[in-house]
Amino acid sequence: MNDGSSLARKILGAIKIAVGEAPAALHEPYFIGNEWLYLKECLDSSFVSSVGKFVDLFESDLEKFTGAKYAVAVVNGTAALHIALKVAGVKAGDEVLVPALTFVATANAVSYCNAIQHFVDSESITLGIDAYKLRDYLNSHTEQKSKCCINKTSGRVVRAIVPMHVFGHPVDMDGLMRISHDFNIALVEDAAESLGSYYYGKHTGTLGLMGTLSFNGNKTITTGGGGAILTNDYELAKFAKHLTTTAKVPHAWEYRHDEIGYNYRLPNLNAALGCAQLEQIDKILIAKRDLFYRYQRAFSGLEGLQILSEPKGCKSNFWLQTLRIDPDKVGYQNEILEITNEAGFMTRPAWALMSELNQFKGCPRMDLSTARLLSSQLINIPSSPILATR
C-alpha cells in the first residue's frame, strides 16, 4: 500500500469513527419540524406561487434571525447576488473583485451585470479573500478619480468587492470593510454558505452594503431552491424587491412596469418550507457543531492533515466539514477522493479556481498562489446534521 492509499484508508477510518459504518452523502436536508404541515397549508389554500403569507413570514423570520433590518426573498442565491450587485451600482464594463476560490455562482452573477470579474487571492485561515494582500495590490494597481477606484491597467472602474464565506467560515470582514471605505468600492457579501455564522457577534451578510443567502437543497436550511438579499438600507431593500418582482408598479389591476425587472420571486411553497426549517435552525446548528467535534476527535491522531476550525472571533455554522491536507501531501488528493467515495462516503474537492475556467481566463487577476494551493489541499467530508444523531 502506497503512502497516498494509506492516508486515504486512515481518513476513511476516521470518518467511520465519527459517523458510523453506514454510507453518508455530502450534505442532506434535515426535516424535523413543520415542513409537511406548512406545505399542506399552501396546497389547501391554493396559494402555491409568489403570493401567500409564507413569503412575508419567511422574510420577517430571516430578519429576526440574522439581525438584518430587511430581507428580500428570491428564487435562488445566484439571483440574490445578481440583484444585490445591480442595486449596489455595478454597471456594464465595471470590474468586480471576486475570490478565485469560490463557487461559480459568485463569478456568474458578475457576468449577469455585464461586468468583468477581477480575481483576487485567498488566505489560508478563513479560506476567504486575503485583505492584507489585496490592499497592497490595490495600492499599486489602482488610483482614485472622482471618488471611484480605477484599474490603472484597464482604465475601468472597480465598482464592488464580493467576499465569500467559504464553507460557512467568516472571512476577515474588518479588513475588507476598511478596503471598501478607503478605496470607494461597494461591499456585497456572498453569504450563500454561511447562514448561522457570525463575525464577532454579527451575522454574516449583514456587515456590508448588502449580503446574499442561498437555500439550495444542500444548504444549512433549504427551501428546495431559494435565496435572499439582506440589507440595513430601506431604499436598497425597496429597490431590490421592485426589481425581483418584475419591476411592477403597484396597482389594484393594471400591469405597468417602469424598468427592466426580473421574475426572481420566491414561491409560497418554497417559503413555507423555509419557515419550517428556520424554526429548527438552532437544533440544526447544534448538530453540525457536534459533528465537527466528532470529526475533531476522530482526526486528532492523524498526521498530514487537519480538520478546519472556525476563525478567531467567529462562530461558524460548519456548513461543510473540511479537511486540509499538508502541502507535501497534496498529490494524494485524488486517491483520497476515490477511496472514500468508492466506500460510500461522499467527499469532494474545493472548486477549480474561477480564473482557470475557460469563460473567465481573460479576466484580470492578482497573484493567486494561496488560492491555488488551497484548491489542491481541501477535501469536504460528509456534513449532514443528521449524521450527529447516529
Domain coverage including residue 47: 35-279
Burial of 296 (0-12, 13-18, 19+ CB in 10 A): middle
Residues 175, 257 within the same domain: yes
At 222 the pLDDT is 98
Task: Kindly state whether residues 24 and 140 are assigned to the same domain.
Answer: no
Please state, in angstroms and rounded to a whole number, the distance separating the CA atoms of residues 262 and 292.
39
Same domain (yes/no): 268, 335? no
In the sheet that 210-214 helps form, which strands lie side by side, from edge to edge?
70-74, 227-231, 210-214, 186-190, 158-161, 95-99, 116-120
Q: Which of 279, 300, 319 is the last residue of a domain?
A: 279
- The predicted model gives 30-38 an average pLDDT of 97
Bridge partners (DSSP) of residue 148 are 145
Q: What is the mean pLDDT of the chain?
A: 97
The CATH number assigned to the domain holding 107 equals 3.40.640.10
Please, which pLDDT band fits residue 31 given cuts at 50, 70 and 90?
A: very high
pLDDT at 8 over 80: yes
Residues 256 and 293 in one domain: no
Distance CA 138, CA 117 (A): 15
Same-domain status, 205 and 84: yes
Shared-domain flag, residues 130 and 24: no
Burial 86-118 (b: 16+ CB within 10 A, else e): bbbebeeebbbbbbbbbbebbbbbbebbebbbb
pLDDT confidence of residue 211: 98
Last residue of a domain, one of 257, 279, 301: 279
Across the range 304-310, mean pLDDT stands at 95
Domain count, the chain: 2
For the residues 298-314, what does the mean pLDDT come to? 95
Task: Provide the pLDDT for residue 1.
Answer: 66
CATH of residue 309: 3.90.1150.10
- Spatial distance between the Cα atoms of 112 and 85, rounded to a whole number of angstroms: 9
Instruction: For 89-116, write each residue's pLDDT tens digit.
Output: 999 999 999 999 999 999 999 999 999 9
Residue 37 to residue 32: CA distance in whole angstroms:
11
**What percentage of the chain reaches a pLDDT higher than 90?**
96
Mean pLDDT on 156-180: 98
Check whether 50 has a pLDDT greater than 90. Answer: no
pLDDT at 2 over 90: no
Same domain, 57 and 114: yes
Query: Is residue 139 domain-shared with residue 86, that is, in the same domain?
Result: yes
Same domain, 81 and 103: yes
From residue 128, give the alpha-carbon distance in Å to each of 104, 301, 311.
Answer: 15, 27, 11
Confidence bin at 389 (pLDDT 50/70/90): confident
- pLDDT score at 390: 83
Mean pLDDT for 47-68 is: 95
Q: Which residues pair with 207 in a beta bridge?
A: none
Q: What is the mean pLDDT of residues 244-253?
A: 93
CA 97 to CA 161: how far, in whole Å?
4
H/E run at residue 158: strand 158-161
pTM of this structure = 0.96
Longest Cα separation, the chain? 73
R_g (Cα) of the chain, nearest Å? 21
* Beta carbons of 317 and 197 less than 8 angstroms apart: yes
Looking at the predicted structure, is the pLDDT value of residue 51 above 90?
Answer: no
Q: What SS3 state is found at 280?
A: coil
